[in-house]
Amino acid sequence: MARIYEDLTVVIRRSKVALFVLTALIILVLVFYWKIQVLDHQKYWKMAEANRLRELPLTAPRGLIFDRQKVILADNMPSFKVSLVREAVNNIEDTIDNLALLLHLNREELKKRIDRYRFMPAHEPIIIMDNLKLEDISLIEARKDDFPEIKLEVEPRRYYPFGPTGAHLLGYLQEVSVDEIRTQPEKRWRGGEMIGKSGLEKQYNDNLTGREGKILEMVDSLGRPRAEISRTEPQPGRNLELTIDFDLQKRAEELLQGREGAIVAIDPRSGECLVWASSPSYDPNRFISRFSADEWLALVNDPGKPLENRVIRGLYSPGSTFKLVMALAALHEGIITENSTFFCSGTIELYNKEFNCWFKPGHGSLNLPEAIRNSCNIYFYQLGRRLPIDTIARYARLMGLGQKTGIDLPGEKEGLVPSTDWKKKFLRQAWFPGETISVAIGQGPLLVTPLQLASLTALVANRGVRVRPHLVKEQEKSDGRERVGLPEAAMEVVIEGMWRSVNRQGTGQGAYQPGFEVCGKTGSTQLISRESAERLIQRGLEVRKTHSWFTGFAPRDNPEIVVTVLVEFGGLGGQTAAPIAGQIFKAYREKYVRQANLQEN
């Protein structure tokens, strides 16, 4: 009987392969275990700790903002907020449903808010409601064990004690946007954090923002806090001391009440801004509450433009205030002297076109100081006929027009000084001599801001020395005085005319203050032609055709204050803007000059 031998070659080969695979798997498991236990020890230890420890930020109080006499203009007050910590959430949809019901919130709005910050780490809290009322706080405290994913905290909330007063100067806070968080990671902003979005709050946001603290707390398996492990207290931001005088600021805003316009006052010796008023205003406290998109649109679309900072963003033709530039340019160029006269009959024909003086009967024969006193258009038309537009533009820029002043606020506009190159570049047309005649009295394509005009006036008050306007006291240490290339003798001639304008029954007499030697210049910016105005009058319609300007300084020698006033649709400068400026001069004199005299006695 033959023996049958079974061939086990295939079985043995497969057994070896299986053994090799098994050995490899065991080695991989051991390596992975070693990696977890040794190489990634710190990583998994931290993850384990995170299951029982939670780190929460503590908001730092913003620095306070004071006026020059320590009146608090921007303060902080305690406020309660509730935040969601997503790492403690099991089912986000259920959580949204429950929180919307608990806090009486719109579910879709709450969901959008949470979705907005999904890209952020889950352990960072998302503010879902702030400025809580007492009943909200009580409700959350009573249910806190049922909602371990929410955190009730007290935070310092910005508060502006005087509401709209100084709003355009101070600015406002708003919630940091998602784009800002993503594009500026170095700022390390958190979702829901409030940052400066305009005014000084924006300009000095990094200074005003303190260093946040943190709490390390122990939580149970459901994420409920059980004990505080450690606490690092937040560090407040730096305070700002402004150059603004609150009493003068308040008075200026009272004088602008119900009007659209701006008032700015500067100390010409240092460049310190004493008054910064823009009307209409708004209450920056409204922005702290994270108001709705509809409320924001209502503000933006308000026809009065309450958010517009007219002091540095309002662009207006300077009207007859520009005659100061024309006078200095003509004197320095040798076109005229102090005693050069021109005859004003009320009208003049230049380049085959008739130009009118604002005073129809005419002023007769005038020299330069008298022309400034009476703001005679015919006199300055004659200067415009003799000075090329590029020469006028050069002097205007030398005196600070057509460029930013360098004020420590965001959003300043440059204005516009026309020239032959400007017209060729932007309008692709040649400049015509007849256009220079309009520019000579501050009309045509010539635009300035109230702050630029105040800076120009400060330069005249300083007899040719320029100072940079600023709002924060510490800025003055780095600001130097710069002399421009205009002789003091020419300045004195112009100042004589400005003094007569106020003190010798000129167009600026509304600003007169006994014993204070106010020097000034009025201006009226024509918005429609005289012919159009007369047609409206014939139809029985109200004519609001001019913006009202006044700019001046006091006292004449050793000036202490420059005041520039603009009232939109205010009519003649001497009728509206000059009396308002006079009230600012009066308030300053009563507070500072008389106080100094009492101290001396």
Mean pLDDT of the residues in the chain: 88
Q: Which of 83, 320, 375, 438 is catalytic?
A: 320
Query: Using alpha carbons only, what angle is made at residue 228 by residues 222 and 229, rounded to the nearest 5 degrees?
Result: 110
Per-residue pLDDT reduced to its tens digit, 236-274: 999 999 999 999 999 999 999 999 999 999 999 999 999
The DSSP code sequence of 151-194 is EEEEEEEEE-TTTTTTHHHH--EEEPPHHHHHH-GGG-PPTT-E
Same domain, 222 and 256: no
Per-residue pLDDT reduced to its tens digit, 73-102: 999 999 888 888 887 788 888 888 888 888
- Say whether pLDDT at 538 is over 90: no
CA-wise closest residue to 102 among 78, 77, 84, 126:
84
Same domain, 265 and 230: no
Same domain, 335 and 457: yes
Q: Which of 226, 241, 256 is the last residue of a domain?
A: 241
In a domain, 293, yes or no: no
- pTM of this structure: 0.85
Which CATH number covers residue 399? Answer: 3.40.710.10
In three-state secondary structure terms, 20 is helix
How does residue 318 score in pLDDT terms, banded at 50, 70 and 90? very high
Per-residue pLDDT reduced to its tens digit, 379-432: 999 999 999 999 999 999 999 999 999 999 999 999 999 999 999 999 999 999
In three-state secondary structure terms, 326 is helix
Same domain, 265 and 201: no
Per-residue pLDDT reduced to its tens digit, 15-56: 777 788 888 888 888 877 776 666 666 655 555 544 567 777
In a domain, 11, yes or no: no
Q: Between the CA of residue 407 and those of 356, 416, 479, 597, what are the distances in Å?
A: 38, 18, 11, 32
Q: Is 320 part of the annotated catalytic residue set?
A: yes
What is the residue range of 486's domain?
246-279+309-600
Per-residue pLDDT reduced to its tens digit, 421-437: 999 999 999 999 999 99
Phi and psi torsions of 143, nearest 5°: -115, 15
Average confidence (pLDDT) over 554-580: 96
Number of domains into which the chain is organized:
2
Q: Between the CA of residue 317 and those of 213, 228, 351, what are the distances in Å?
A: 51, 63, 23
In three-state secondary structure terms, 549 is strand
Give the H/E segment covering residue 534: helix 530-538
Hey, what are 479's tokens? 């600001």
Same domain, 134 and 110: yes
Same domain, 67 and 97: yes
The pLDDT assigned to 1 comes to 46
In a domain, 36, yes or no: no
